[in-house]
Amino acid sequence: MPYTIEDLRPDEGATKSKRRLGRGHGSGRGKTAGRGTKGQNSRSGGGVRRGFEGGQLPLQRRMPYKRGFTNIWRTQWTTVSIDRLAELNIDGPITPEVLVKRGVTRGEQYPLKVLGGEALSTSLTVHAHAFSESAKSAIEAAGGTTETLERTDRWTHAHPRSRSLPLNRELKAMRVGKVGGPSRKEAVAMLAEREREAKESS
């Protein structure tokens, strides 16, 4: 006779019955059904979430460096090497504003740090918020000059804990996050533009 769909069976050993707990002493899983004696995990609906240690600070919080750590106070530096600066062939001093216009850096709200590279063959005048030791020595060895700018980005990318900080007061006044208000990124860019215009006018 031909086989039908009802004749199909899985191979022997391919399936396994579910373990039946709490079915008497003869089953081997009677009485406490493998749950031990008393306690939270022996109750119906008991148990704790993964990583819970009875209320004490769990391991993943005691040792955050083991799982990775995001520092909300980290400064978002924009870096550029002296090799890249030499390729630009800029006449005059190299400033963060010039690099933004050339498309080398992301924006003026990010502090600029100049990193080292190969030996320079031309003298450069560089204005930045920070220099690595190798970059500074290479620029000066080539006859150039370096000027360290004062950083004004203290609260730009941090997440302040209080509305009393100057930037948060201004963002609140601009209705950041409200209906019809700008986003935080747009508001920070507007404040940076306003500050730059104030510096130029003075």
H-type helices in the chain, by residue range?
A: 59-62, 82-88, 96-102, 133-141, 166-173, 184-201
Q: Do residues 189 and 108 make contact, with C-beta atoms less than 8 angstroms apart? A: no
pLDDT tens digits in sequence order for the chain, 202 residues long: 788 999 899 999 999 989 999 999 999 999 999 999 999 889 999 888 998 999 999 988 888 777 777 777 777 888 999 999 988 888 889 999 999 988 898 888 888 999 998 888 889 999 999 999 999 999 999 999 999 998 876 544 445 455 455 777 788 888 888 888 888 888 888 888 888 898 888 7
Distance CA 191, CA 108 (A): 11
Q: Do residues 109 and 192 make contact, with C-beta atoms less than 8 angstroms apart? A: yes
Distance CA 119, CA 140 (A): 11
Sign of CA dihedral 28, 34, 36, 39: negative
DSSP state of 18: P
Distance CA 113, CA 126 (A): 11
Distance CA 72, CA 140 (A): 35
